Structure 1
Amino acid sequence: MRARRTLTIVTSLAAAVGVGYVLGSEPGRPGATASPPIALANADLGAAGSCEDLLASYVDRALDLVGPYGWGGGGWVELGLGSEGGSDAGAGDAMAAESAQPGVRTSRSTSNESGTNVQEVGVDESDVVKVAGSLLVRLRDGELLAYDVAGDEPRLLSSTPLDDARGSSAWVGDPGGELVLVDGRAVVVGTAQDGTSTTITTVDLSDPTAPSVVDATTIGARASAVRLHDDVVRVVLHNGLPELDFSFPDGAFGQLRAGLRNRSLVRDTTLADWLPTVEGEPLVDCADVAVPSDEEIALGTTTVLALDPADPTARTTTAVATDSDVSYFSTDRFYLAAAGPRWGWGECMDCRGGPTTSSGTTPLFAWALDGASATYVASGEVAGTIADRWSMDAVGGSLRIAVGPSSETGDFNSVVTLREDGSELVEDGRVDGLGVGEEIKSVRWFDDLAIVVTFRQVDPLYAVDLSEPSAPVLLGELKIPGFSEYLHPLGEQRLIGMGQDASPDGVVRGAQAALFDVSDLTDPRQLDVVRYAPGTHSGAAADPRQFTWLPEQRVALTVVTRGWTGTTGWVSVLSLDDGSMRNRMVEVEHGSAVADVRLVPLASGEVVLVTGDDVSFFSIAG
């Protein structure tokens, strides 16, 4: 068992490099104590001198966004959340080095010991199912179910209803309820269907036959991500433009009157309208909210809350006055790409959502993580659009980003590297011209390598050498019909791509699994393809937690679905042998519950199949 770190209430924006803005804190947020003065790294993020100044900064920017029809003048509403991706490479699945190719090709993505396909080794992610030894816990219809998976069949031990702090269920019909496990405690995070509140519930499972709810706190904000590192749970929370009782034009001079009244409503907002709240009071101290100097980025608040499950009311928070779902955690850094909020509803907390808005250049902010504290250390910008967190990666002090075209770039995609130079994120190197006129569909990062897939009519797969961050090199490319939306390393020289089959003119036909040989990065090859029935979709394309790689058996398990109304879900069992794939389809679920199907590997070698109603062992052999 890992040694537990003791968490204390510390300022979220601690002293950073360089001379910054130093302010005092105004105590009063629930569960926190007074913070010492803070220093910000540079002028890209400022700090308000008081709560009054902070509120004024929100109001001043908001007045430029309101009109006679509300926000944006036309009553638009920002919705959704999400990101994509995931990976799973077992220990020892490092990709072998070849002459004239990157010296180290290790994927740092793996299946976490909790059973979840994660982006970074050492950074666990929330999911609807978690396992610890012989204990498996899952969320279903507002209940936390605990199972013993040590016997011949999984055995239900307990069922714990999850209610929010007000005593009413926040989980019925909730698409985003997920959990992490920490030393015998489950931290469950779920956002209400309307996106206005998130409940964080801590459950003691030291006796899994009789769990107890330790704390349930409801926060006025929407959660987009939950991460666990060194026993610290971090939740990314969002507050967009507040919902106000706007007027609409009616009769003569209606637009003038409505516009004036709507501006008055904005002027009357309080910090509780802009910041996450607990019981109506702001969760974040005014001095812990950084204000971007760029007034063009999306207005709102993104907050990172850190808590210790052993003492869940001891929380630290850091916030920045912009709303963006594009955030990425490494083991020691948190990066926020101020790409603007997404449009359209997301299906789950970490699934791919709609496209982000962009003004052409994306501001970037970096925080150093140490225990429960987060220290703002650097900022910069990159021309282009950043689709999601899987387009970002950090290793050895280098931030690597796959960017799509924008009004400030050419009609192509790029891989850009940045480094911290004092308090600035400065461009270190780049490769341009990837997929001219095409869209990035997936990215797989290794220590010294990036694999990027784009698509319009064919699927170009690009291999980019990152062994010298200041001089990345395009090594080779492969063009084939269809595209891979999710890439997964399978040992030393193989890669599998889950995505869509397409005709030579780009018409999508159905899901496909493609096996690639990347032993020679100057000449990547497709070895085999499994094409599924027309109209099918790969579950891993939207949620990589629906993909499981079993390296000892050389078997990939992935969910394939068909239909929007009348949905059917199968587990595709892909057995790999000498460069070929053999497929077996097992029908497992129907309806909306298909999205929650999971295949969880156990240390015993068994695989647990979790469907809407059942938890059972899954036979690989059939």
Structure 2
Amino acid sequence: EEHKTYEEIRKSIDEYLTGREKERITMMENDIAYAEEASGESDMAKYADGSAGEYTRTNVQVEGIDEADIVKTDGKYIYAFYQDAVSSTICIVKAAGKDSSRISQIVLDDVQVQNLYVKDRWLVVLAANENESTEEADCQTNIYLYDVSDAENPVCRSKNSQSGTYSDSRLAGDMLYTISIKQVVNAGKKTDKEEYIPKVNGKLLPEDRLYCPNEGESSQYLVFQSIDLSRSGKVIDSMAVLGAEGTYYMSEKNIYVAAPYTDHGAWQKTKITRYSYDKGTIKYGCEKVINGKILNQFSMDEYEGNLRFAATTYDYSMQSTNGLYILDQSLKTVGSVSRLAPGERIYSARFMGDKVYFVTYRETDPLFLVDVSDPANPVVKDKLKIPGFSDYLHPFGENMLLGIGSIQDKQGNSYVKLSMFDISDPEKVKEIHSKKLEKNSTQNIGNDHKGILVDVQRNRIGFGTQNYDTGISRYEIFSYDTKKGFQNIANLPLEESRSAVSRGLYIGKDFYLCRDSYGICVYDTKKYKKIRSIAY
């Protein structure tokens, strides 16, 4: 049983903080190396075509499970925020084309807003009370729930909190699941429970909601909380587990955490932990240490009760190979295919039912197709080599797969590259069109999948780019034609921010470009002429 008393937890943390100080420093260094390696992040988003219909929704991994973002819309209003040193301001903008206007705002003092959700009449605001004077041990994540049924007069219906810095969240139906990371700096004395036990809504978590799977292994908690929006923000469950922060993948029944794992200096391992959830109740399930590194949330997928993941493994000489692994609900291996693309690493992948596509890269870009219809015997069906690499893959209609990545010329200049793959024949994947953007252009979709707009119904692909020679940023929109390939529809300026962090939204007949902390520009969708500008 992984439950521990407060004192057993304190001793476990104390053992970690004192007896393993050298290993802890090594671990921190390796975590940094791991994060740097992962910064070329891949993406395997949901098996769906992306946002469609009358307005753009956040590009999420699993259809039906929403992810928080810096901008949200319900088709009538756009919700965004900006912040300064002392407060955060959430702006509510009425989306009405040339008549769009900011109709209300919410000011939160002494917090930094991280992300938002919008569901029916509810606006969820996820914020941290961090500032320069906040001790790490005192960091707290706040969850505000606003009733925006009258968007001109938002009303706060609840405020919940949990110890630690905000890490991630998901919204499944009306149930919000939040994860924060509480770092214990000093285990203190037996009586100093505030030092080493996390809180939810100001109260210490009880012993039966604390888990310590491995004594002396971590001084960090993952703190979980579930909140029911349909019951005005009522907390349904909360728990905390001593273990490292990682990458999160949430299926319809489980939450998987893949965290870098250090074992006597071998930093190429990952610990996978499974938690089940049902109607807000969260249960610790099981864990497994695997060889290799899982790049990000999209390197994991659950299908017919099995967890599938793509990983890059390293031997002791740091030679890399790649593989696909399938585990059951107990995290026991069902099947695998390994030793693919020696010397390369995974840059992107896409799980689509019983087919898996993933890209590795060193000099050319092999796109692998693996058939996993028999989970015990995955089979590599095809391997296509093309110049450059894709660090984001996205289904585009029935039998096509969109790739966004980079390519370099012989002089070392890099370009953003768009690729369209024909995947109608599982035995023979073909790149049917590609487009190279301007010299020394870059994009960040691999690290920020929510920054891409893919609307198959409208035949539009949009994302921010930056030219690192000039520093100029723009939002580029493309259409795709099976004969002509990619056509550039619009290049919209993002110059104020000198950053490609932006969100593009279609609402009805208009396009809304939300730019960092600067505001929203509204464009018509015929010639992409600016018809309105709204400052935050």
Matched, 1:457 2:355: no
| In structure 1, C-alpha distance between the alignment counterparts of 2:260 and 2:324, rounded to whole Å | 17
Aligned counterpart, 2:198: 276
Among 335, 344, 359, the alignment partner of 2:256 is: 335
Aligned counterpart, 2:287: 379
Deviation at residue 189 of structure 1 after TM alignment: 1.0
Q: Mark the CA change 1:74 to 1:150 in structure 2 (over 3 Å): closer, same or farther.
A: closer
Q: Which amino acid aligns with 2:94?
A: D
Unmatched runs of 5 consecutive residues or more in structure 2? 528-536
Q: Which amino acid aligns with 2:417?
A: Q
Deviation at residue 132 of structure 1 after TM alignment: 1.5
Among 32, 57, 65, the alignment partner of 1:123 is: 65
Deviation at residue 457 of structure 1 after TM alignment: 1.1
Q: Which amino acid aligns with 1:277?
A: K
Deviation at residue 133 of structure 1 after TM alignment: 3.4
Aligned counterpart, 2:384: 478
Among 583, 603, 607, the alignment partner of 2:511 is: 607
TM-score after normalising by structure 2: 0.85
Native 8 Å contact 1:201 1:215 kept in 2: yes
Deviation at residue 182 of structure 1 after TM alignment: 2.6
Unmatched runs of 5 consecutive residues or more in structure 1? 1-20, 22-45, 90-106, 164-168, 245-264, 342-356
Deviation at residue 214 of structure 1 after TM alignment: 3.0
Matched, 1:545 2:450: yes
| In structure 2, C-alpha distance between the alignment counterparts of 1:75 and 1:494, rounded to whole Å | 41
Native 8 Å contact 1:556 1:575 kept in 2: yes
Native 8 Å contact 1:448 1:467 kept in 2: yes
Native 8 Å contact 1:87 1:111 kept in 2: no
Q: Mark the CA change 1:539 to 1:78 in structure 2 (over 3 Å): closer, same or farther.
A: closer
| In structure 1, C-alpha distance between the alignment counterparts of 2:239 and 2:332, rounded to whole Å | 23
Matched, 1:412 2:321: yes
Q: Mark the CA change 1:162 to 1:595 in structure 2 (over 3 Å): closer, same or farther.
A: farther
Q: Mark the CA change 1:281 to 1:587 in structure 2 (over 3 Å): closer, same or farther.
A: same
Alignment deviations for residues 250-278 of structure 1 (CA, whole Å, 9 cap, x no partner): xxxxxxxxxxxxxxx76689443344336
Alignment deviations for residues 424-458 of structure 1 (CA, whole Å, 9 cap, x no partner): 21101111122211111111111111111111111
| In structure 2, C-alpha distance between the alignment counterparts of 1:290 and 1:454, rounded to whole Å | 37
| In structure 2, C-alpha distance between the alignment counterparts of 1:592 and 1:77, rounded to whole Å | 33
Aligned counterpart, 1:257: none
TM-score after normalising by structure 1: 0.74
| In structure 2, C-alpha distance between the alignment counterparts of 1:75 and 1:373, rounded to whole Å | 32
Deviation at residue 392 of structure 1 after TM alignment: 0.7
Alignment deviations for residues 477-501 of structure 1 (CA, whole Å, 9 cap, x no partner): 1111211111111111211111111
Q: Mark the CA change 1:272 to 1:537 in structure 2 (over 3 Å): closer, same or farther.
A: farther
Aligned counterpart, 1:65: 20
Could you tell which deviates more after superposition, 233-242 or 461-470? 233-242
Among 478, 486, 489, the alignment partner of 1:574 is: 478
Q: Which amino acid aligns with 1:438?
A: E
Aligned counterpart, 1:135: 77
Q: Which amino acid aligns with 1:155?
A: S
Q: Mark the CA change 1:269 to 1:528 in structure 2 (over 3 Å): closer, same or farther.
A: farther
Q: Secondary structure at the match of 1:133?
A: coil
Matched, 1:444 2:350: yes
Q: Mark the CA change 1:77 to 1:383 in structure 2 (over 3 Å): closer, same or farther.
A: closer
Among 176, 180, 186, the alignment partner of 2:117 is: 180
Aligned counterpart, 1:300: 220
Native 8 Å contact 1:509 1:534 kept in 2: yes
Native 8 Å contact 1:231 1:308 kept in 2: yes
Q: Secondary structure at the match of 1:339?
A: strand
Q: Mark the CA change 1:51 to 1:159 in structure 2 (over 3 Å): closer, same or farther.
A: same
Matched, 1:222 2:177: no
Native 8 Å contact 1:272 1:280 kept in 2: no
Counterparts of 1:157-556 in structure 2 under 5 Å?
A: 157-163=103-109, 169-171=110-112, 177-191=114-128, 192=130, 196-242=139-185, 270-277=192-199, 281-282=203-204, 284-293=205-214, 298-309=218-229, 310-312=231-233, 314-340=235-261, 359-407=267-315, 411-420=320-329, 424-503=330-409, 507=412, 509-556=414-461
CA RMSD of superposed structures (Å)? 3.1
Alignment deviations for residues 350-401 of structure 1 (CA, whole Å, 9 cap, x no partner): xxxxxxx964443322122111101233333322111221111101101001
| In structure 1, C-alpha distance between the alignment counterparts of 2:297 and 2:116, rounded to whole Å | 19
Matched, 1:52 2:7: yes
Deviation at residue 620 of structure 1 after TM alignment: 4.0
Matched, 1:561 2:481: no
Q: Mark the CA change 1:311 to 1:555 in structure 2 (over 3 Å): closer, same or farther.
A: closer
Native 8 Å contact 1:385 1:404 kept in 2: yes
Deviation at residue 72 of structure 1 after TM alignment: 2.7
Q: Which amino acid aligns with 1:187?
A: V
Q: Mark the CA change 1:211 to 1:51 in structure 2 (over 3 Å): closer, same or farther.
A: same
Q: Percent identity?
A: 22
Native 8 Å contact 1:538 1:559 kept in 2: yes
Q: Mark the CA change 1:115 to 1:358 in structure 2 (over 3 Å): closer, same or farther.
A: farther
Alignment deviations for residues 37-90 of structure 1 (CA, whole Å, 9 cap, x no partner): xxxxxxxxx221x211121122122222226xx95389979778998566778x
| In structure 1, C-alpha distance between the alignment counterparts of 2:269 and 2:105, rounded to whole Å | 48
Native 8 Å contact 2:200 2:238 kept in 1: no
Alignment deviations for residues 270-310 of structure 1 (CA, whole Å, 9 cap, x no partner): 4433443368753x3222122123755x5411122111234
Q: Mark the CA change 1:504 to 1:270 in structure 2 (over 3 Å): closer, same or farther.
A: farther
Q: Secondary structure at the match of 2:328?
A: strand
| In structure 2, C-alpha distance between the alignment counterparts of 1:471 and 1:72, rounded to whole Å | 41
Q: Secondary structure at the match of 1:56?
A: helix
| In structure 2, C-alpha distance between the alignment counterparts of 1:558 and 1:74, rounded to whole Å | 35
Native 8 Å contact 1:204 1:211 kept in 2: yes
| In structure 2, C-alpha distance between the alignment counterparts of 1:269 and 1:437, rounded to whole Å | 52
**Which structure shows the higher strand fraction?**
2
Q: Secondary structure at the match of 1:213?
A: strand
Q: Mark the CA change 1:534 to 1:619 in structure 2 (over 3 Å): closer, same or farther.
A: same
Could you tell which deviates more after superposition, 531-540 or 453-462? 531-540
Counterparts of 1:79-158 in structure 2 under 5 Å?
A: 107-108=47-48, 110-111=50-51, 115-141=57-83, 142-150=88-96, 152-158=98-104
Structure 1 residue runs of 4+, over 6 Å off? 73-83, 265-269
Q: Mark the CA change 1:334 to 1:586 in structure 2 (over 3 Å): closer, same or farther.
A: same
| In structure 2, C-alpha distance between the alignment counterparts of 1:179 and 1:76, rounded to whole Å | 32
Q: How many residues align?
A: 505
Alignment deviations for residues 509-532 of structure 1 (CA, whole Å, 9 cap, x no partner): 122212222222322222222212
Q: Which amino acid aligns with 2:280?
A: A
